[in-house]
């Protein structure tokens, strides 16, 4: 499961970030997951639950927000969401091929391919 290794990295990063504060408990962790990451929310939640046990994150809630795919076209200058995801059945690539909704040119993906922590709701010691 890809989600497990992703979550392991995220939890490491979260713990490192929390070291900077006098944390009593962690209430909630907000995660942004791009639609292009192919990461399942349920699998991420499951991985988080397992891996947060016996740590500062034990008992905290994971909230996942999906990020839409956005692109930038260098040909016509289009910037924004893309709907025409062209996923070829016979394609060996897991990453879908995206093209500009306006002119059909190849585009640069600007959003939707990352998985990151957006914020952490903590309770600090007085």
Q: Which residues would be at the binding site for Zn ion (CB under 5 A)? A: 73, 75-76, 78, 100, 102-103, 105
115 is in an annotated binding site: no
Q: Is 76 annotated as a binding residue?
A: yes
96: which DSSP letter? P
Q: How far is the CB of 112 from Zn ion (least distance, A)?
A: 17
Q: Which residue's CB is nearer to Zn ion, number 13 or number 103?
A: 103
Q: Is 2 labelled as part of a ligand binding site?
A: yes
Distance (Å, whole) CA 97 – CA 121: 37
* Residue with smaller CB distance to Zn ion, 8 or 108: 108
Assess contact for 36 and 113: CB atoms under 8 A. Answer: yes
**How many Å separate Cα 22 from the centre of its chain?**
26
**Within 13 Å and on the Cβ side, how many CA atoms surround 48?**
22
Binding positions for Ni(2+): 2
Binding positions: 2, 73, 76, 100, 103
């Amino acid at each position: 499961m890809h989600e497990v290794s992703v979550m392991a990295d995220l939890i490491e990063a979260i713990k490192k970030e929390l070291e900077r504060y006098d944390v009593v408990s962690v209430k909630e962790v907000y995660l942004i997951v791009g639609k292009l990451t192919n990461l399942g929310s349920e699998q991420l939640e499951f991985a988080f639950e397992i891996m947060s046990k016996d740590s500062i994150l034990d008992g905290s809630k994971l909230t996942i927000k999906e990020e839409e795919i956005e692109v930038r076209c260098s040909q016509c200058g289009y910037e924004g969401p893309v709907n025409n995801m062209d996923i070829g059945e016979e394609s060996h690539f897991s990453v879908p091929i995206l093209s500009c909704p306006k002119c059909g040119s190849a585009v640069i993906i600007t959003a939707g391919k990352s998985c990151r922590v957006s914020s952490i709701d903590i309770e600090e010691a007085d």
